[in-house]
Amino acid sequence: MTADYRYSRLAYVALNVTDLGRTLAFYTDIVGLDATEIADGQAALRCGPDHHNVLLNRAPEPGLKRIGFELESEDDLERAFRHLECCGYTPAWLDAEECAALHQGPGLRFRHPGTGLPLEYFIDMERMAEPFGARLARIARLGHVVVSTPDLPAMRDSLMRDLGFVLSDEVDGMIAFLRCFPNPFHHSLGIARADENRLHHVNFMVTDIDDVGRALNRLKKNEVEIVYGPGRHPPSGSIFLYFLDPDGMTVEFSFGMEEFAETGARAPRLMPPVPESLDFWGGLPSLDFARVGRYESAG
C-alpha cells in the first residue's frame, strides 16, 4: 500500500545540545535565527513566520531529537496514522498538552523501524505576528535535514515505499536526495551512507549568494570551524557552506535549489560516486564533517 497522505513541508528540527546558552547564542548571533521562546531547558528559534523551525533541548549528549514534517490537513494526518500502522510502524498521537506547549495542532510521532530515525507529523504550526528579523542572513527557510545510515538503499527504499518520499537524485551509493511529495523542493530529506545511523547535517536556505559570502566571514571572525565549502552541489545546483555548531553538529547554508512540479517531474538522475558529484569546484569535506548527532535513544 502506497502512502496516501500529502506533506506540506519540512517544518522543524529538534536538536539535543549540551550547553543551551552557548548553543542558543550560536544559532541567534552567528547563524542568524530569531529566538521565540526560551524556557525549561528548551529554546524555540525561527527563520520565518513559524513559531519554530529549530528546537534546542538541553541534554547530556548532543544529537537529533526528531524531525518534524507538517502535513497538508487533519485528514492527511489521520490517513498517515492508519497507513503507518498498516506498514508495521508504531505511531503515537501527541497529547493535547504537548501540542499546545509546542504551539502546534495535532501531531503524531514514530521511529523509522530500520534505523530508529525519530520523526513527527503534525498540522497547523502557529505563525508569529512579527516577521522574521533576518538580522544577519536572509534565511528563506529550514531547507533540509540529511541523515546517515550504513544501509542507504534499504533506508531510501523504505522511506519511498512506506513514507511517500520521492527520489530527486542520487550519487550512487553515497547520498540520496528525497522530496516530501508534493512539496516542490529538490530535497527536504537526504540519506548519506556512513558507519552508523545519525544526523548528517541541518540546512538553512538563504535568499542571496551574498548571505553565503557574509556567513563565511562571520564564521571566520567568530572562529567557527568550516568543514566543507564554499562550493557548488551538482545534484541541486546550490552554492553551499558547511560549518560546526558548538557540539560539533554540522550546519549548512545554501543558496538555490531546483523545484519540481507535482506532475510531470523529471526522472531522478544517478550520478557517479566521485567528489565532483558533490562539489563542482572540487572541494572535499574535512574529517569533522557530519560526524556528530546520534538519535536520541528511545524512552
Q: Which residues bind Fe ion (CB under 5 A)?
A: 203, 252
Smaller CB separation from Fe ion, 83 or 186: 186
Between β-strands 63-71 and 34-39, what pairing exists: parallel, antiparallel or unpaired?
Answer: unpaired
The least distance separating Fe ion from the CB of residue 200, rounded to whole angstroms, comes to 8
> Quick one: 8 or 203, whose CB is closer to Fe ion?
203
Local structure of 20: helix, strand or coil? helix
State the minimum distance, in angstroms, from the CB of residue 13 to Fe ion: 13
- 129 Cβ contact list (under 8 Å, min separation 6): none
Question: Taking Cα atoms as reference points, which of 209, 230, 224, 238 lies closest to residue 282?
Answer: 230
Which residue's CB is nearer to Fe ion, number 16 or number 254?
254
Instruction: Quote the least distance from Cβ 267 to Fe ion, whole Å.
Output: 22
CB of 164 to Fe ion, least distance (A): 21
Output the nine-digit C-alpha cell for 189.
530529506
Nearer to Fe ion among residue 89 and residue 242 (C-beta): 242
For residue 289, what are the contacts with CB-CB under 8 A and spacing of at least 6? 227, 228, 242, 250
Nearest alpha-carbon partner for 256 in 191, 190, 203, 193 = 203
**What residues pair up with 85 in beta bridges, in sequence order?**
none
CA distance 34 to 47: 7
CB of 186 to Fe ion, least distance (A): 10
Phi first, then psi: what are they for 271, rounded to 5°?
-105, 150
| Residue (115 or 250) nearer to Fe ion, CB | 250
**CB-nearest residue to Fe ion:** 203
- Residue 252 Cβ vs Fe ion, minimum distance, rounded to whole Å: 5
CA nearest neighbour of 59 among 20, 112, 85, 28: 20
- The residues facing 244 across adjacent strands are 250
- Comparing CB distances to Fe ion, the nearer of 70 and 252 is 252
